[in-house]
A and B are shown apart, each in its own frame.
Chain A
Amino acid sequence: MKDRAGRFLRPADLIAVAAILLLAGALWLITGNRQGETAQIVCDKEVLYTIRLSDVKEPYEIRLNNGITVAVEPGAIFFASSDCANRLCVRTGKLTRAGQSAACLPHKTLIRVTGRDKAAPDALTG
């Protein structure tokens, strides 16, 4: 009997394993959510800001020194205003999902959202 008990999982072991599985699952969920969607503001080649969109609780604005204001909201980022001529950047609207981006070409400024959305394509053509 003692041998058998040594080789096979006992009820106490099963409970321990189940608990670990639950814990691991919970951990995975937490870290997964924390990773979530990350927004970046890029000027020329430089990443000026990296923002975890799921951590944003209150809306706020970032005034860049090139005439652009970027708005950040819980789960979203967008060009709030720009002093460029065509304002295409503002017209692109809110970015919420991984893979989305908006650019102000006259000011060489890009905002983009990255994350691990499996459905998001690697690139967009158009």
Chain B
Amino acid sequence: MRVQRILRPAALLCALLTLCTTFNGCSSSYQERTAFAMGSVMTARLYAPEDKADDLFDRMTGKVEEADRCLSANDPASEIAAVNAKGSANAGAFTRKTLGDMVLLCHLLNGTVDVTMGAVTQLWGFSTDEPRKPEEADLQAALATVGLDRLLIDNTNETVVLGEGQKIDPGAFGKGVALDEISNVLHTASYPAVVSFGGSVLLYGQPRNGKSWTVGVRDPFGGENDYFAKLSFTPESGDYTGFISTSGSYEKSFTQDGVTYHHILSPETGYPVETDLVSVTVYAPGGLNSDALSTACFINGLNPQTLQWLQSFGAEAVFVNKDKEYYVTDGLSDAFSLTDDAFTPMAYEG
């Protein structure tokens, strides 16, 4: 009797303690790692054992650095920088392949985004500490160099040849390319992970305990950590891969003579695109596609052609305009949940 009286509560206590420990264990089930690359922060939450996480993250950053060494327009030692400086230069297989992917995407998006915009973006200097409005004559001259048909990727001679004065700016695609490379690494390692790279997000695998991945969509009118809605994804398979990118006019801007200029430039005019939109978030099965689409959708605006683009890439999107109104494409409506009531649905009849 006496033994039983002690045993029963003791057993209960054990059970409860186990519960407590499990609870505490959940919060630290991932390893968080951070690196600085491509002028952005890259943060990875790896659902891997601690002893595997470092090696995995090293391989991921290794891929990013490799991509950056090829594609960076700002690093004078990169292959693209050499092409930009000389107008024609050797380019390795990765550079040629990736540049080809970018050119194809630009074509498919009717030149709404253009990888040959380098001369124009350089004039505005949004990636420097001193962005400024260019002189009109300079801008027109730079704009004349833009054109996908003047860019030649020569696989026989392993070179990239530019048109007169032309410059490549892979800026709108770089992080997407990097996330694609990272997803390849994760596929071989098979640990679930969430990777944030300067506002672009890669979701890989299934979250623990049948939960969903959640991604906050930044409040374009708020601070860097504010979001107005959440997207939830519940993957059906272990090798699920999803990419989310956002293009927002709030990201980089400056004010000169009372006019505010944002960094999303129209390849048609060379000026920041005039639109009611303040941000477009795209969910797509590929990183490069997701990055390019968010920019193209922002520039082209919410219209049937834009929605057609999204559809043909198997992508979905959230559009937000100046009046705090949002539009969510059909395929994303179940994943979307509003967290800030100040935002209201947009009256758009697709």
In angstroms, how far is the closest chain A Cβ from the Cβ of B321?
15
Residue of A nearest to B23 (CB): A28
Task: Decide: B9 and A126 in contact? CB cutoff 8 A.
Answer: no
Whether A116 lies near B213 (C-beta < 8 A) is no
Instruction: Let me know if B24 is at the binding interface, CB within 8 A.
Output: yes
How many contacts between A and B, using CB within 8 angstroms? Answer: 129
Complex contacts, B244 vs chain A, CB 8 Å: 123, 125
- Residues of B near A35 (CB, < 8 A) are 24, 27
Which of A24, A85, A116, A121 touches B230 (beta carbons < 8 Å)?
Answer: A121
* Contact residues in A for B33 (Cβ distance below 8 Å): 45
A residues 12-32 near B (Cβ < 8 Å) are: 12-13, 16-17, 20-21, 23-24, 27-28, 31-32
User: Complex formed: what's the CA distance from A53 to B315 in Å?
Assistant: 40
Interface of A is mostly: mixed
Provide the B33-54 mask, 1 if CB < 8 A to any CB of A, else 0. Answer: 1111001110101000000000
A35-B27, A42-B34 as given contacts; A125 in contact with B199, CB under 8 Å: yes
Q: A31-B24, A85-B129, A125-B216 are in contact. Are A13 and B201 (CB under 8 A)?
A: no
CB distance from B196 to the nearest CB of A (A): 5
Q: A92 contacts B224, CB within 8 Å?
A: yes
Instruction: For A28, list chain B residues within 8 Å (CB).
Output: 20, 23
Q: Give 24 A-B contacts (CB < 8 Å), ordered by A residue.
A: A13-B8, A17-B12, A20-B9, A20-B16, A24-B13, A28-B23, A35-B24, A92-B225, A101-B225, A102-B225, A114-B32, A116-B26, A121-B216, A122-B45, A122-B214, A122-B215, A123-B195, A123-B213, A124-B216, A124-B225, A125-B200, A125-B216, A126-B218, A126-B220
Chain B contacts to A: CB under 8 angstroms: 1, 4-5, 8-9, 12-13, 16-17, 19-20, 23-24, 26-27, 32-36, 39-41, 43, 45, 61, 129, 194-196, 199-201, 203, 207, 213-220, 223-225, 227, 230, 244-246, 248, 251, 279, 281
